[in-house]
Structure 1
């Protein structure tokens, strides 16, 4: 019977304090909307940026030339260390921790001409496995550079989707001819569009790739600009980097612990930092929402104190007739939960509606789509429950500790 009586009492109190109760519910409603929407936008932003980050490649390390920072076996510090394509071949054969590896020979501002347009772009000479490492997936009907292209030094080219649209607007690019600094090439593939928020030579959508053997026939390059290495799993990345350093240290005579002998950057460490940053950012957003909810909680506490003042005599009569303090406390807490639940559920419904409206439209550039997971709704309900308990606990405890005689004397 207690819940039913509490509900009836709640609506009587609400009628007597209409404006105060509605404003309090609005505070809870607004706080709920804020915290749910901020969580959804924070999650959507993180998932979108993680997807774009993975566009560069997963479990890969990019290795650039470096300069030794330590003397080694009579050799001075300050020596420049560069890997050659022969080194890449040897590492592929001798280091089992490496899943894929490829040198990269980039040429910048290369003139590309089609029968429709011309423009400058980055053209890189790479190995066939570069495609899998860097997520350069071909559209249907096309392919990436293969072993035959490498062996026969074919003039085949794989281009980014944005580059294809500009060179061949409204046309199928695969099979068409494009001149690379005046040398004719056949387009064998166009990249499937991908999101990418990090790069070291421009977005892949605007780049072109040819076989490294073909590239070296056009340009005189002794050393690759960088070497891209992929480990079998993210957990293997540390071992893979260590193996590469040990190989290079033995080959070029430097301390294998000299981290400056080769400059490296790996996506595993980058992703770890990225997730840490966005975890903190999401907590910040949730904190802002919680502050808004605290305002509503203060309103709930105030209105329950007002209710306590108005019902002091009633409480005194109940306790004089034998009502236990726990019953009085439970009744007040139940009414607090009702105020919070009504405001919170309406707020949750409004937040879900707003998120749905956003997701019906095109995603906002750099923000992605707000995403509300089930766990977020559960967390919001949990926060509301905590707010309700904390808001009602002190007025409820105060009510349960009233002495019947003093309560009756007050009114």
Structure 2
């Protein structure tokens, strides 16, 4: 039987039972659209969560000073640990797997411009802090540089919301603000970014000055925390163990005393994200699969009816030499053609639904659905499985029919 004849017979059969055919194709269409929409929401949620987390930095670990909870080498418990700038440079020197290490000063200070005043977390940092923390400036400004560090310049970089609160509609760059009765020149404003976590204050409300300027103003080299990134995220756990070893030797505490130095390693979060969204997307895909399977049952049902209605045709074809695999191939192909009609419409409707939900009110938290290539491929694979399962039994039954019984119909 030619392909043209197969298509002609298929559409003739569909036309003869319009309602039945419509409901069958509709089941596949709706199941496909549902599967695509659910998977697209899962991908969008994953991407938005990653984007939110990247607001604080990529593969970042933040060290906080704590106090000892274990006696060690004659020292008792409850002894506070204090970080100094030299500790950061020591970690970089002694742990080769660390890529970047940066000390960070921090204190809540009042910043004023004219009559406007704001209490803000002010960080004393080095230029490399920009890339580690994804701190990028708006056009017309700049970030801290090496000259600011060497010359201990009184320059300040403002978070975007802090700048808005102080300057409203004025351009802050080049203007002076007062901090600790000292004028600071604004050199840049933070480009707005999404950030759902922080370890002191949201970056949009913070200010940053050169670390050397901060140390001189406050008269101390005691820092609030140390930031580091690994060369290879897979080595994060090993690096953390080495950090405790190195800091334990320096500050005389038991390396197993994790309360002496707190470490928030965001690499653990990235590993958790992969597992969590594999489970979420798997669950959403399973719901979509079962929805599509209902449509597949409808296709299998209509193909069983078609087999009953076409028994005489099957008997004639077998009697003139058609093999069983020819009969199976014909009904498999018809099954996939029906599913293809529904799937094509389902892909179109799914894509339209994805586009229609791009501006949902909670987009900042759950993201917008995204029709990625992986969504299309997964949907295609599921459709292929459903089509095979829906066509197998009807095709098998058609191929195993007795020729004589078919010709008696």
Name the structure 1 match of 2:153. 154
Alignment of 1:203-352 (within 5 A): 203-219=202-218, 223-352=222-351
Contact 2:158 2:208 in 1 (8 A): yes
1:56 counterpart residue number: 56
How many Å apart are 1:294 and its aligned residue? 0.9
CA contact (8 A) 1:67 1:81 kept: yes
Given that 2:360 and 2:368 are in contact with CA atoms closer than 8 Å, whether structure 1 keeps it comes out as: no
- 2:197 aligned residue: 198
Whole-angstrom distance in 1 between the partners of 2:150 and 2:268: 35
- Residue 338 of structure 1: CA displacement? 0.9
Could you report, residue by residue, the CA deviation over 1:368-400 in whole angstroms, capped at 9, with x for unpaired residues?
Answer: 343222343233222212211110111111111
CA distance in structure 1 between the partners assigned to 2:110 and 2:358 by the alignment: 41
> What's the Cα RMSD here?
2.7
For 1:351 and 1:116, the matched residues in 2 are separated by 55
1:222 to partner: Cα distance: 6.8
User: Which residue in the other structure is 2:100 paired with?
Assistant: 100
Q: Deviations over 1:249-278 (max 9, x none)?
A: 111223334434321112222211122212
In the TM superposition, 1:132-143 aligns within 5 A as 132-143=131-142
For these two proteins, the number of residue pairs brought into alignment is 409
Provide closer, same or farther for how the CA distance between residues 197 and 331 of structure 1 changes in structure 2, counting only shifts above 3 A.
Answer: same
Q: Counterpart of 2:38? A: 38
Cα distance in structure 1, aligned partners of 2:342 and 2:199 = 50
- Following superposition, the deviation at residue 220 of structure 1 comes to 7.0
1:113 and 2:112 aligned = yes
CA deviations on 1:273-315 (whole Å, 9 max, x unpaired) are: 1222122211122112112101111111111122222223332
Distance 1:244 1:49, change over 3 A: same
Pairwise CA distance, 1:207: 1.1
Deviation digits for residues 311-341 of structure 1 (CA, Å, limit 9, x no counterpart): 2333234334443222221111111111100
Cα 1:181–1:325, aligned 2, differ >3 Å: closer, same or farther? same
More deviation, 364-373/336-345 = 364-373
Partner of 1:169: 168
Q: What is the Cα deviation at residue 157 of structure 1?
A: 1.2
Contact 2:359 2:368 in 1 (8 A): no
Please state how far the C-alpha of 1:361 moved relative to its aligned partner: 9.1
Give TM-score scaled by structure 2 length.
0.90
**Cα distance change on mapping 1:334 and 1:116 into 2, 3 Å:** farther
Give the secondary structure class of the aligned counterpart of 1:139. coil
| SS of aligned partner of 1:399 | helix
C-alpha deviations, 1:176-211, integer Å up to 9, x for none?
A: 122235543221121222222221122212211123
> Which whole-Å CA distance do the structure 2 matches of 1:213 and 1:70 have between them?
35
**In structure 2, C-alpha distance between the alignment counterparts of 1:113 and 1:77, rounded to whole Å:** 42
Alpha-carbon distance in structure 2 between the residues aligned to 1:235 and 1:383: 33
Distance 1:185 1:273 in 2: 42
Counterparts in 2 of 1:398 and 1:94: CA distance versus 1, 3 Å: closer
In structure 2, the residue corresponding to 1:366 is in which secondary structure? helix
Instruction: Answer yes or no: is the 8 Å Cα contact 1:59–1:233 preserved in 2.
Output: no
Q: Matched residues in 1 for 2:150 and 2:242: separation?
A: 28
Aligned to 1:86: 86
**Aligned mates of 1:116, 1:78 — CA distance in 2:** 44
Name the SS of the counterpart of 1:184 in structure 2: strand
What stretches of structure 2 of length at least 5 have no aligned partner?
A: none
* DSSP 3-state at the match of 1:178: strand
Q: Distance in 2 between matches of 1:13 and 1:173?
A: 73
8 Å CA contact 2:97–2:232 kept in 1: the answer is no
